[in-house]
Amino acid sequence: MKKLLAGIASLAMCASALTAPVQTAFTSLSANAEGDYNYAEALQKSLFFYEVQQAGELPDWNQVSWRADSMLTDEVPGGWFDAGDHFKFALTNAYTAAIMAWGVIEYKDALKKAGLYEEYMNNLQWGLDYVAGCDRGDAVVGTIGDGFDHQWWGSAEVYMRKYKLTSGDDARPFDLITSTSTMSQMAAAMAAGYIAFKEDNPTLAESYLEHAVSLFKVADATRSNDDQGVQKSYYPQTDFFDDLFYAANWLYRATGEQKYLDKCDEYIPNLATESQSTERKYTWGYCWDDALQGAALLYYENTGKEEWKTQIDHHLQYWIDGYGGKQIAYTPDGLAWLMEWGALRHVTTTAWLAKLASDVAFKDDAAKAEKYNTWAKKQLDYCFGDNNLNLCYVQGMGENNPKTFHHRTASGIHDDHWQSLGLDEADAEGWQTEYAHTLYGALEGGPSKDGTFTDEVGQYQYTEVAIDYNAGYTALLCAMLDDYDCKPLADFPPTETPKWNEFEVAAVIQQNQASYTQIQVWAMNHSAWPARVVKDLSYRYYFDISEVLDAGLSVDDIKVSIGYDQHAGDEGALSVSGPVQYKDNTYYIELKFNDGSVVMPTGQSEHRSEAQIRIAVADTAPAGAWDPTNDYSFQGLQEGGQDLLKSPEAITPYITMYDGGTLIYGTEPDGTTPSENPVVTPTEQPTDAPSEDILYGDVNMDNKVNILDVISLNKNLLGKELINEAQQKRADVLLDGGIDSTDSLTILKHIVGMISSLPVNP
């Protein structure tokens, strides 16, 4: 059986290799003598992106008009959402805050000159305060959130409503971990935060330093990454000595105490070396899982030791034109390309080191300083559009951005169909294709090694955005402000106005008889400015009773009934009142939800509530006593069923919707329309939601599990074929939140009968 499995696996790997990309050589692009881009605008918009990522109760200085409070019951309030989802990780919050702090520490005057210092410090403190809040002494809060964050696509403001629907819980889960790498990164962020704030806010700075000292002490004593918790499935940490080295350097810089340099000397023999070599590692890049090169530059700044200047030089040479027989790959149009996950994240972080090194380590070596400066600018400008695709990978910058980005809240999706974002209308089957919001300042993952870019929302290797993606990029922009006289935009950010009706009604005629009319109605909540719910929700249907009166009847002879109510029997049940006189012979009935917050933009089953309403006179009434054709709300309605109700033709402005007494949708008979900014009252009142069934092991999503699924998974693991989020979920047959060769082998064992069913518990 082992031979059989090995043979099948070999076939699968060989099939995967058939599509291996051709490695391309570096093609030089001419350097610009002057700054072609407004780096102050870019930094201004990057800070906006961090404000988009804010969780919890938003501060007064948050500038994002379409965001509101969220996740108010989290164990640790505030912080940044990690990426286009709603996880919060202490690791990535700390890594990001440390680099942002480094940027202002080195280039404070440039930030002040550009007029961005206060905004920058506000955003930096937001991240640092969360890191401090995660410190619990002997352990830290590692992750807030669970797998639901990757399963559900919707806005942060209504996340907890959907979470309560599916889990029954009022608060998100969290874990306490003792990972040395995480605690070291947190200690580094706290020490850097102390330096950044010690002049402006000494009290705050001292509190950061206390956390830094305590966190470092525990991390150094633990020296193990065994306890990573939930974050291991998303940000698995390997070696920890580089993180301890990084933190010790920051603590020395913060305190000047020799004991931290002594710790550095203790760690140095344990730092990674090149494969089959005694030379210290110079390949890869500075990131959340490899702090060595950032720590090396800090150590050089702290000690002035030439060997560490050489270490930095070797690393940058590897990234630029090669060192020791090794060189990073380049796209045909000149991007230094490390890997498919966040290619632009890696190159801008390395460009940050190159730019800082040119100003610090190589300031007396004009040739190298010029070389590293030129390379850093060239790589940054690639992100802004200096590439063969003329594509600016920073959303909201330039004229030609990718049309998709992987971000739930900014999408404004209300009915789960996020896969249609960015599609042509003809291919979207009527689902939403337009993003609600412009995600200003977000740096996308970037192109493939061959320079191509897959502009699809589900291909998140290309279109993902994240706080760590923007971290080195943001610090680099601080450095660019030191060289180029740029100013932020005076009229940024714009206040967004809704691109579609946030609340609306669709209706069709089910029956129209001599004595009654029955209509089918959908009351809908598609809010995204911000996403919200309305507790006191109602809608009105207007009709004319002239023919009733002409037949010798009165308004009391009109009877209204609800034949079907989607929320009958639960907290959202409808009640009907009226008829109520509107004006002259025009009356209305009001359909009021007992709790209108059941209509919410959280999924296909919740974004609308269906009711079937009958308005009638007695069957014995005189002929002609009922005639809906002169009714205000009847105009434009068509006869049909569910298919018509789903179509744009069913949307009617003549059935009006209200938040309490405030008109929020439609046009009343006298022409009254909603104000531009109607007041709505959010609430947190959950209801029920459907569960999801998937076929585990069906990686290619053809509703079968066979060797083709193994081939698809192996191609992905080799970086030769990308699979989307839904496919990754099906590939995770061990239910551990990630995919690797063990999942591939497990699917193989299932195919040959060694495992009876999928998924299996690890």
DSSP alpha helix (H) spans, 198-257: 202-222, 241-255
Non-local (6+) Cβ contacts of 426 within 8 A are: none
The rounded Cα 118 to chain-centroid distance in angstroms is 25
* Domain end (from 643, 665, 687): 665
Query: Residue 227: phi, psi to the nearest 5?
Result: -105, 80
Q: Of 644, 665, 686, which residue constitutes the final position of a domain?
A: 665
35 compared with 146, residue with greater pLDDT: 146
Q: Reply yes or no on whether the pLDDT at 361 is more than 60.
A: yes
86 and 4 both lie in a single domain: no
Residue 624: exposure state from Cβ atoms within 10 A (0-12, 13-18, ≥19): exposed
Q: Which whole number is the average pLDDT over 540-557?
A: 96
Q: Is 352 helix (H, G, I), strand (E, B) or coil?
A: helix
Mean pLDDT of all residues in 134-144? 97
* Burial of residue 487, with CB atoms counted within 10 A of its CB: 0-12 exposed, 13-18 middle, 19 or more buried: middle
Instruction: For residues 674 and 572, give the distance between their C-alpha atoms in angstroms, rounded to a whole number.
Output: 24
User: What's the CATH code of the domain at 605?
Assistant: 2.60.40.710
Residues 46 and 17 in one domain: no
Neighbours of 583 (CB within 10 A): 10
Residue 498 inside a domain? The answer is no
Q: 528: domain range?
A: 503-665
Q: Note whether 332 and 443 are same-domain residues.
A: yes
Q: E strands along 530-673, which residues?
A: 537-544, 559-565, 574-583, 586-593, 608-616, 655-659, 662-665
Torsion from C-alpha of 475, 477, 479, 480, nearest 10 degrees = 170
- Quickly state the pLDDT bin for 722 (edges 50, 70, 90): low
Average pLDDT score over residue span 450-470 = 95
741 phi/psi in degrees, rounded to 5: -65, -25
Kindly state whether residue 491 falls inside one of the protein's structural domains: no
Higher pLDDT, 629 or 21: 629
Whether pLDDT at 743 is above 90? no
Say if 684 falls within a structural domain: no
**pLDDT at position 300 over 70:** yes
Question: Are 655 and 726 in the same domain?
Answer: no
Q: Is the pLDDT of residue 723 over 90?
A: no
Least confident of 32-46, 223-237, 358-372: 32-46
Most confident of 143-152, 177-186, 602-611: 177-186
Q: What single letter denotes the amino acid at residue 239?
A: D
CA torsion, ordered 625, 629, 631, 636, to nearest 10 deg? 160
User: What is the tally of structural domains in the chain?
Assistant: 3
Residue 39 and residue 13 share a domain: no
Which CATH number goes with the domain that contains 739?
1.10.1330.10
Mean pLDDT in residue range 80-102:
98
Helix (H, G, I), strand (E, B) or coil at 127: helix
pLDDT at 721: 63
User: 445 with 514, same domain?
Assistant: no
434 assigned to some structural domain: yes
Question: 159 in a domain, yes or no?
Answer: yes
Q: Is residue 62 part of a domain?
A: yes
Q: Please check whether residue 685 lies inside any domain of the structure.
A: no
CA 653, CA 761: separation in Å to the nearest integer? 52
Transcribe 482-524 into DSSP letters.
HHS-----TT-SPPP--SS-SEEEEEEEEEE-SSEEEEEEEEE
d(CA 58, CA 61): 8
Q: How confident is the model at residue 10 (pLDDT cuts 50, 70, 90)?
A: very low
Residue 63 belongs to domain with CATH number:
1.50.10.10
Mean pLDDT of the chain: 90
The predicted pLDDT at position 702 comes to 65
Residues with catalytic function: 85, 406, 455, 464
Last-in-domain residue among 483, 515, 536: 483
Q: What b/e string do you get for 6-22 counting C-beta neighbours within 10 Å, with b at 16 or more?
A: eebbeebbebbeeeeee
Q: Is 532 contained in some domain? A: yes
Query: Are 276 and 175 in the same domain?
Result: yes
- pLDDT tens digits for range 430-439: 788 899 999 9
Section 7-17 average pLDDT: 40
Kindly tell me if the per-residue pLDDT of 232 is higher than 60: yes
Question: Amino acid letter at 219?
Answer: A
AA letter at 329: A
Q: Which of 410, 407, 408, 435 is nearest to 421 (CA)?
A: 435
Q: Answer whether 249's CB lies under 8 Å from 294's CB.
A: no
The CB-side HSE value for 28 (13 A sphere, CA atoms) comes to 7
Judge contact between 91 and 237, C-beta under 8 A: yes
* Cis omega (within 30 of 0) for bond into 579: yes
List phi, psi (to 5°) of 322: 100, 145
Nearest Cα residue to 576 out of 593, 564, 552: 593
Q: How far apart are CA 729 and CA 709, in angstroms?
A: 13
Q: Are residues 35 and 17 in the same domain?
A: no
* 2 shares its domain with 99: no
Q: Are residues 422 and 557 in the same domain?
A: no
What pLDDT does 35 receive? 56
Tell me, yes or no, whether 45 and 8 share the same domain. Answer: no
Residue with structure tokens 């042509």?
Answer: 424
Claim to verify: residue 519 and residue 447 sit in the same structural domain: no
Task: Quote the percentage of the chain above a pLDDT of 90.
Answer: 79
